[in-house]
Amino acid sequence: MRLFFFGFLSLAHGRFNTGILYDRLLKGWSYVVDVSQPGCTMSEAEALEKFEVHPWDSALVPDECVKYIENEMEEANPGKIPTAFTDTPMPMELDIRLSQFHGIDAKQQRVFFTATMDFTWRDDFLHWRPSLNNNITHVIIAPDRIWKPDVVLMESLSDDFDSKYQAGITVNYDGTCNWITPINFEAGCVFDMTFFPYDTQACPLTFGPWTYSSRDIAFQLKTATNNITGPGQTGQILDNPMKPNSTEWNILSTDGIMRETKYPCCVEKYPDITYEIVFKRYTLLPTLSIVVPCILTVILIILGFFMPPDAGEKVGLNITILLALVVFMDQLTQQIPPMPAKTPLIGQFFVASLVLVACSLISTIFCLRLHHTTGEEAKRMPKWPTDFQIS
């Protein structure tokens, strides 16, 4: 009665208190057919039949034939899936828009980016007639007051696992809910660094409801790239043209596909969307800072073989080159993860260069030992060095 009293005062003064609508939506108020009200000319059977189609449509059933009643059993329950038909899954659509790609940590095998998740579903218990509520067509409700999807990134490595910002949910008068929330992703990926720094990486990211199975939710892509509904539906992570571009990586594709997965723990299948982000490293900086110095170092190694044995700097040059290669290898190990099955080609190049420098240093020391052997220590050269050099 208090709700109707304050509502009457507000309408009498030409104003509508938005809190009245929130109370009607969240505190168990609902409107039902009542053909006994003054001004209603429809029969009860006709009104009920049309009311079942679209309760919020005053063109089907006039406002004079409906009234609000209080029902505490119908209070909004954030833990209950908001569908009136429990025998069919509730449709829910999702789009993901990339806001910024921060890059990857190859050493820790992690990828970082910011995106916006756009959810759409229909709440069968949150609808109203704008004509009975001062022509209000939509409201914004806090996400902890009503049901919302529990879609998470399965590969998440964030401290709180699900780091969605708790933005308000826009609810339209027909029950359609739209939740657009930004989120920072930190996901685990396995990177193949075989062709570092000219590598192309692929990182699969799986999004799906944690609690609800395919029996509860009909998970779909809002912007699909084919005409399939359900498993097999394809789409992409939408790009934001205003996002700042990464200075290290170029995103080549973000294709996704809808799947249903059966886990060992459960009987039902669970829907998910798996996107594969393919990105390629910009090669200018690694070429100038790693590859070019390595090539110059190898040239110096080869030139070291042409220096005469009695040159005073030959041993010093080889030692300097050896130290430079050690520094380069240390930089490399700081950028790539341990790879037990494969060794990066540039790592193999460094090892081969170290072996080559070691051989050059050993041969130089041996030649200098022979070159500076004089006096009583001088002996006729054995036959095997002569045969080795000739061969």
Report CA 41 to chain centroid distance, whole Å: 56
- Whether residue 367 lies inside any domain: the answer is yes
Of 237, 264, 282, which residue sits at a domain end?
282
Per residue in 330-346, pLDDT tens?
A: 877 777 777 777 778 88
Domain match, 328 and 316 both: yes
The whole-number pLDDT of residue 147 equals 92
Tell me: pLDDT of 66 over 70.
yes
Tell me: pLDDT of 176 over 90.
yes
Per residue in 79-120, pLDDT tens?
A: 888 888 778 899 999 999 998 888 888 888 899 999 999 999
Q: What percent of the chain has pLDDT over 90?
A: 24
Q: What is the pTM of this model?
A: 0.79
Is residue 103 within a helix (H) or strand (E), and if so which, with residue range?
strand 90-105
Domain match, 67 and 48 both: yes
Tell me: pLDDT of 6 over 60.
no
Higher pLDDT residue, 263 or 368?
263
Domain match, 110 and 233 both: yes
Higher pLDDT residue, 336 or 208?
208
Report CA 329 to chain centroid distance, whole Å: 32
What beta strand segments (E) does 264-332 contain?
269-281
Per residue in 157-167, pLDDT tens?
A: 887 788 788 89
Domain match, 237 and 249 both: yes
51 phi, psi to nearest 5 deg: -65, -30
- Whether residue 80 lies inside any domain: the answer is no
Tell me: pLDDT of 311 over 70.
no
Domain match, 335 and 213 both: no
As a whole number, mean pLDDT of residues 232-241 equals 87
Q: From CA 132, how far away is CA 62, in angstroms rounded? A: 11
- Whether residue 234 lies inside any domain: the answer is yes
**Cα torsion 290, 296, 302, 307: sign:** negative
28 phi, psi to nearest 5 deg: 90, 15
Owning domain of residue 340: 285-390
Domain match, 47 and 185 both: no
Q: What percent of the chain has pLDDT over 70?
A: 88
Q: Which residues pair with 38 in a beta bridge?
A: none
Domain match, 57 and 201 both: no
Domain count, the chain: 3
Residue 13 tokens read as 């003064």
Of 238, 256, 282, which residue sits at a domain end?
282
The whole-number pLDDT of residue 12 equals 33
Domain match, 271 and 293 both: no
Domain match, 292 and 272 both: no
Domain match, 108 and 250 both: yes
Find the largest Cα–Cα distance for the chain: 133
Tell me: pLDDT of 202 over 70.
yes
- Whether residue 84 lies inside any domain: the answer is no
Domain match, 248 and 290 both: no
- Residue 260 belongs to a domain with what CATH number? 2.70.170.10
Of 257, 282, 307, which residue sits at a domain end?
282
